[in-house]
Amino acid sequence: MRKEFIEKIYAGWLAKIIGIRLGAPIEGWTYEKIKNIFGELTSYPVDYHEFAADDDSNGPLFFLKALEDGRDGFDLKAQDVAEALLNYAPFEHGFFWWGGYGISTEHTAYLNLRNGIPAPESGSIEQNGTTIAEQIGGQIFIDTWGLVTPGNPDLAARYAKEAASVTHGGNGIYGGIFIAVCISYAFVEKDIKKIIEKGLSYIPADCEYTRVVRDVMKYYESNPKNWRECFEFIYENYGYDKYPGNCHIIPNIAVMILALLYGEGDFSDTLNICNMCGWDTDCNVGNVATIMGVRNGLEGIDYDKWRKPINDFLACSSVVGSLNIMDIPYGASYIAKLAYAVAGEEVPEPWKTIFEERIDSCHFEYPGSTHAIRVRTEGLSADARKERECMVSNSEEYAHTGTRSLKFMAKPMEPGENVYVYRKTYYKPEDFHDSRYDPSFSPLIYPGQTIHGSALLPPYDVSALVSLYVRDAHSGQIFRSEKAALKAGEWKELEFKVPAMEGVLLDEMGFCFHIEGQHTQRFDFVGFIDDLYADGSPEYGLCLDREEEEVWTGVHREVSQFTKLKGLMYLEDGQLNLSCSDFAEAYTGRHDWKDYAAKFYLTPVTGEYHMVNVRVQGAIRSYAAGLLPDGKFAILKNDNGYQVVAETEFVWETQKEYEISVSVKGNQIKAEVDGGCCLEYTDEDRIYEQGSVGVSMQNGSHCRYRKIEIMNI
């Protein structure tokens, strides 16, 4: 695999997010409505504060985890992708459109899987009928199967067929294959027509999907100048009125081919034409953008117009809250790491170190990348200026490791003031423009962990001290390391072990620059940062009386720090309440915690199943310990269904608080209740080596949770 493919993977994934954001505000609009309101739409129609989660990015990223989690390794099968869907999608909320069984294709397939119908039957025409099976989802969630197989269209086609068949059939599968192949082939071919032909070569020549693609290509050959005339041809012959269902794949692939051809290789023109055509704009522009992002590379994507408003940030809405706060370089690195593994090749440096040791770090090695870093200022007197101009940019002037770093500027500044350069590690409803696809989050940083980062001041700047810091969202309090002096032109490596604490929610981590100088000075303050990341084990207490309800909309309400799979979850009398009619689960903490001990304080209210979870990797992958019927205390493993793996007698009762402690180290799980009644289990099959913590119950139970403590072991 060529080393330059790593950057092209980033370009493709970044372009996907650009396309989604461009099309999302006008999703479902007609060409006439777009034209009447905007005239000619050539940029983002909405200036989002932060763009919330979207199904078009949720699906591609989390379905790809089937390669990592699946039972078949890189010999991917449809059921591996099906289990990724079951594992990472919340039950009937967030992630994608839950329009009802027989209405939403993905919802229909999800419920089929939940009720024991395996993939690929879950998405087939035989099971769901042609209308449901041939909606657009077969191609809109498929991009990453092309990105993870750069220059290998054979494998892209095979992966895409397995993935699309989980939820779709017929033309729905053909669309997935076509898009994945086009993306994979765009790594090695720039000719748009050849890319389209390569995609067509993997699907039946006589299918409806191929017919519409060839008809649009034929029209373009005879009328290559006016895309609007081509759209009129599509509208009359392949419009929505010709196909059943909510969002059929055929009309949408027609306008995608139109855009690819009439865009004539220009990234912006291709996206804008596709967006102007209307219909399923975020899906169509997202797919087209991925192809063009790979084909044209980063240099073909206008930075100020398309990249700067995104600032490398991506929100998701899976059940794994710490994966819902993501920067685009992380997603690209995850895909690239898998691509090398699939190809059976070793990752070159510096990417090998980044991928293996600090994939979630802010390393800035992708050209133009910012990792969603922000800058804010703090005046230390009442008459300090309230408004400052702050900016960030990727730079090759200096680098602590690799070849790039992040340059920042804040102006005008005065001596004695502070400049914070940071990554947001938690988001609240007020941070977002809307509640698109119901995101919820768990923090990225916790007490007890260690923050690392490097800072530099250029020779032309004023002097300053620097410290690393975290901020508690609940109190606004800032916790800093000792101040360190900076020498002009020299990198300063910093390290800060966040103290063990209870009742906090850390929503920022980064650098605080303490500016020195003469009182009368005002100046532009410029600096550089590199290699910002956190590691180590957490040491903290999650006190539920400090948490709060987060109100997004009337029907989208969350409890801070938690992501919910299913059930009724609310705060009352300083405790987290969770109840269900069938089952309920909620999770908190980071997805990559390995060896740790967790202590839960819980009170059963009703029912007979009251559990706590460790090494949670999603809805169908975790370990649990809990109080079960007939006076039992047990350890369970959730492998697409809970199974008791160890149990003992323990007489328990409702309305009484219990303390359940669980430790996980390697493949050893130990659990005890109220300081006694111990159980141990050694897992020898499909070990869950890392994961967050959670709470769960079954069969109509209701439980209250007062506190969760996490400790290093």
* Domains by residue range for the chain, with CATH: 4-315 (1.10.4080.10), 374-536 (2.60.120.260), 541-711 (2.60.120.560)
Residue 383 has pLDDT above 70, yes or no: no
Q: How far apart are CA 243 and CA 249, in angstroms?
A: 9
The average pLDDT across 484-508 equals 97
Cβ(275)–Cβ(227) under 8 Å?
no
Calculate the average pLDDT of the chain. 96
Q: Please report how the helices 31-38 and 267-276 are oriented relative to each other, as an axis angle in degrees rounded to 10.
A: 110
8-state DSSP, 666: T
Question: pLDDT-derived band of residue 31, with 50, 70 and 90 as boundaries?
Answer: very high
pLDDT reported for residue 519: 64
pLDDT reported for residue 461: 77
DSSP SS3 for 668: strand
630 CB-side CA count, 13 A: 3
pLDDT reported for residue 243: 97
DSSP SS3 for 453: strand
The average pLDDT across 189-218 equals 98
Which of these, 617, 632, 638, 635, lies nearest to 671 by C-alpha position?
A: 635
Q: Please report how the helices 192-200 and 281-296 are oriented relative to each other, as an axis angle in degrees rounded to 10.
A: 120
Contacts of 302 (CB under 8 A, 6+ apart): 267, 268
Residue 384 has pLDDT above 70, yes or no: no
Contacts of 355 (CB under 8 A, 6+ apart): 333, 336, 337, 347
Which of these, 225, 213, 440, lies nearest to 318 by C-alpha position?
A: 440
Look up residue 206 and give its two tokens: 């006589």
The average pLDDT across 177-205 equals 98
Alpha helices in 115-226 (DSSP H): 125-128, 130-133, 137-140, 143-147, 153-164, 171-186, 192-200, 208-222
Counting runs of H as helices and runs of E as strands, what totals does the chain give? Answer: 20, 31
Q: What are phi and psi of 214, to 5 degrees?
A: -70, -35
The average pLDDT across 305-331 equals 97
Contacts of 615 (CB under 8 A, 6+ apart): 593, 622, 623, 664, 688, 689, 690, 691, 692
Q: How far apart are CA 543 and CA 549, in angstroms?
A: 14
Cβ(522)–Cβ(414) under 8 Å?
yes
Question: pLDDT-derived band of residue 462, with 50, 70 and 90 as boundaries?
Answer: confident
430-461 per-position pLDDT tens digit:
999 989 999 999 999 999 999 999 999 999 87
Cβ(178)–Cβ(138) under 8 Å?
no
Q: Please report how the helices 105-114 and 78-88 are oriented relative to each other, as an axis angle in degrees rounded to 10.
A: 100
- What's the pTM? 0.97
Contacts of 219 (CB under 8 A, 6+ apart): 230, 233
The average pLDDT across 95-124 equals 97
Residue 517 has pLDDT above 80, yes or no: no
**What's the start-to-end Cα distance of the chain, in Å?**
40
688 forms beta bridges with: none
Cα→Cα distances 625→296, 447, 595, 614, 679, Å:
51, 25, 16, 8, 9
126-184 per-position pLDDT tens digit:
999 999 999 999 999 999 999 999 999 999 999 999 999 999 999 999 999 999 999 99
Q: How far apart are CA 2 and CA 396, in angstroms?
A: 23
295-305 per-position pLDDT tens digit:
999 999 999 99
Question: pLDDT-derived band of residue 380, with 50, 70 and 90 as boundaries?
Answer: confident
Question: pLDDT-derived band of residue 676, with 50, 70 and 90 as boundaries?
Answer: confident
Q: How far apart are CA 626 and CA 180, in angstroms?
A: 44
The average pLDDT across 523-552 equals 96
Which of these, 580, 565, 562, lies nearest to 621 by C-alpha position?
A: 565
221-258 per-position pLDDT tens digit:
999 999 999 999 999 999 999 999 999 999 999 999 99
pLDDT reported for residue 388: 86
Can you state the percent helix, strand and coil of the chain, rounding each to 5?
35, 30, 40
Q: What is 375-434 written as a DSSP string?
A: EEEE-SSTTS-S--EEEEEEESS--SSTT-EEEEEEEEE-TT-EEEEEEE----GGGSS-
Which of these, 692, 677, 498, 489, lies nearest to 589 by C-alpha position?
A: 692
Cβ(536)–Cβ(548) under 8 Å?
no
pLDDT over 90 percentage in the chain: 94
The average pLDDT across 375-382 equals 83
Contacts of 421 (CB under 8 A, 6+ apart): 373, 374, 375, 392, 406, 408, 510, 511, 513, 527, 529
CB-CB neighbours of 299 under 10 Å: 11
Q: How far apart are CA 389 and CA 524, in angstroms?
A: 9
The average pLDDT across 529-537 equals 97
Q: Produce one character per residue of 221-238: b if its CB has 16 or more CB atoms within 10 Å, e if not.
A: eeeeeebeebbebbbeeb
Please state whether 669 falls in left (phi above 0), alpha (psi between -120 and 50) or beta. Answer: beta
Cβ(314)–Cβ(432) under 8 Å?
no
CB-CB neighbours of 114 under 10 Å: 13
pLDDT reported for residue 244: 96
Cβ(182)–Cβ(195) under 8 Å?
yes
Q: Look up tokens 């199974």; give the residue.
A: 643
Q: Produce one character per residue of 201-216: b if its CB has 16 or more CB atoms within 10 Å, e if not.
A: ebbeeebbbbebbebb
Is there a cis peptide before residue 458, judged by omega within 30 degrees of 0? no
